[in-house]
Amino acid sequence: MRPGSFLEEVASMPPLALSVKEHCGRIMIFEYSRLSSLCMKKILTLCLATRDGKILLGMKKRGFGAGRWNGFGGKVEVGEAIKEGAIREMREESMMNIRKMEEVGIHEFEFADKQGEILEVHVFRVDEWTGDPTETEEMKPRWFGFDEIPYDEMWPDDIHWLPLFLAGRKFRTRFLFGPSDSILKNEVSEVESL
């Protein structure tokens, strides 16, 4: 595509053929006639605290992923930076206040029954915080040794990328989930930077 051609194409579309939406500080333009073929992304966060050979996970008590051990996180709100959303979600779900964190991974999750809707999850390693992990309405936190991680009670993708996280590496992943959250396709890549 030559420079400027996207804007020229948008400008040439008839009125009412476009939907313009702001999400997480980004402007998204959708052409109605091609809407079904476009990919919609939801931006989410995932925070994982580690200390002394242990990782903090939370048993999800309600909502999406209930009954599974997971990190802490959720949706980024409109007008909120991704890092701000991660800090807020960690505080809401564990009562911990992040003091130092680093983004180490990005997941793209898609479900076969909702193809075209991508969950883009930004993964943060939490190195310093204040407050003790405390049970909330959403999560019940618990520390696990790196050799005690309950993969059979977690999302099935975790076993594919969590070892990279624990080894201090950065990564990008793509997973397509099928019935009963089975993995139909996956890509896991170690990267130098995000």
Please tell me whether residues 144 and 86 are part of one structural domain: yes
Which structural domain range is residue 151 located in?
Answer: 39-191
Please tell me whether residues 86 and 15 are part of one structural domain: no
Amino acid, res. 26? R
Give the length of the chain.
Answer: 194
Please tell me whether residues 53 and 140 are part of one structural domain: yes
Q: Which of 5-19, 45-59, 74-88, 89-103 has the lowest mean pLDDT?
A: 5-19
Report the 10 Å Cβ neighbour count for 91: 17
Cβ partners under 8 Å of residue 170, min gap 6: 104, 105, 164, 190, 191, 192, 193, 194
Please tell me whether residues 43 and 139 are part of one structural domain: yes
Reported as a pLDDT band with limits 50, 70 and 90, residue 80 is very high
We report the CATH number of the domain holding residue 87 as: 3.90.79.10
Assess contact for 188 and 173: CB atoms under 8 A. yes
Give yes or no for residue 16 having a pLDDT over 60.
no
Give yes or no for residue 30 having a pLDDT over 50.
no
What pairing do the DSSP bridges indicate for beta strands 139-145 and 117-130?
unpaired
Please tell me whether residues 24 and 77 are part of one structural domain: no
pLDDT of residue 115: 87
Give yes or no for residue 10 having a pLDDT over 50.
no
Token code pair at residue 177: 């989930």
Identify how many contiguous H helices and E strands the chain contains and give both numbers.
3, 10
Please tell me whether residues 112 and 169 are part of one structural domain: yes
Please tell me whether residues 90 and 26 are part of one structural domain: no
Please tell me whether residues 18 and 92 are part of one structural domain: no
The H-assigned helical ranges of 29-168 are 82-94, 158-166
Assess contact for 166 and 192: CB atoms under 8 A. no
Q: What tens digit of pLDDT does each residue of 145-171 get?
A: 999 999 999 999 999 999 999 999 999
Quote the number of domains for the chain.
Answer: 2
Closest CA to 94 of 69, 57, 39, 127: 57
Average pLDDT taken over every residue of the chain: 86
How far apart (Å, rounded) are the C-alpha atoms in residues 139 and 155? 15
Give yes or no for residue 44 having a pLDDT over 80.
yes
Please tell me whether residues 51 and 25 are part of one structural domain: no
Distance of CA 182 to the CA centre of its chain: 18
How far apart (Å, rounded) are the C-alpha atoms in residues 190 and 166? 13
Please tell me whether residues 89 and 115 are part of one structural domain: yes
Please tell me whether residues 63 and 158 are part of one structural domain: yes
Please tell me whether residues 86 and 27 are part of one structural domain: no
